[in-house]
Amino acid sequence: METVKVSDLFEASYGNKLDLNKMKPMKEGYRFVGRTAKNNGVVKIVEPIHGIKPYEPGAITVALGGSILSCFVQIHPFIPPKMWRYWFLKNDMSIVERLYYAKAISTNRFRYSTYGREANRTFKNILVPALSEIPAWFMILMLPVIMEPTNLLRKKK
C-alpha cells in the first residue's frame, strides 16, 4: 500500500488565541471546536466576534492536546481555539475522502499521550494511505453520505 505524509495532502493552520470562557454562548452562531472527542469536536455555539472570520466548512480539525488526534470534518463554519490544528485540502477531495482521512489520522492516536508525547511536532509526518489507496468498501459504506442531497461538501464537478 502506498502511503504519504499528512502534510503531502493537507496544509496546516493553527487556531487562534480565543478562549471559550470569554465567549458568549448562543443558540445560533459559530461552532467553537474544542479538544473534545465528542460532538464533532464542537463544545459550544458562540456569538460571532467582530474582526474574527470563522473557518469555512470542509476543513479537517485535529486536536493536538486533550483528546489527542480527535479528528473531524467540520460541516459548518467554526471558530478554532489555539490547541487545534486545521488541515485544508491541497487537492479537491469529496466528503467521503475527507471522512476517510479523518479516521486514518485518528487511528494514530496510540503514538501520543496527553501528558507525554504530544502531536505538535511530529503530526505532519504521520503516514496515511495515498488518495488512490482509499478502499472501495469504504466508498460503498459511505454511499448514504454521498447521496445526501443537502450535503454542502460534495465534490465539485
pTM (global) more than 0.85: no
Residue 62 to residue 59: CA distance in whole angstroms:
10
The predicted pLDDT at position 130 comes to 94
Residue 149 to residue 140: CA distance in whole angstroms:
17
The predicted pLDDT at position 157 comes to 46
Domains of the chain: 3-147 (3.90.220.20)
Residue 64 to residue 102: CA distance in whole angstroms:
14
Using only the alpha carbons of the chain, give its radius of gyration.
16
Mean pLDDT by runs of 10 across the 157 residues of the chain is 91 74 80 84 84 84 82 87 67 85 90 74 87 90 70 50
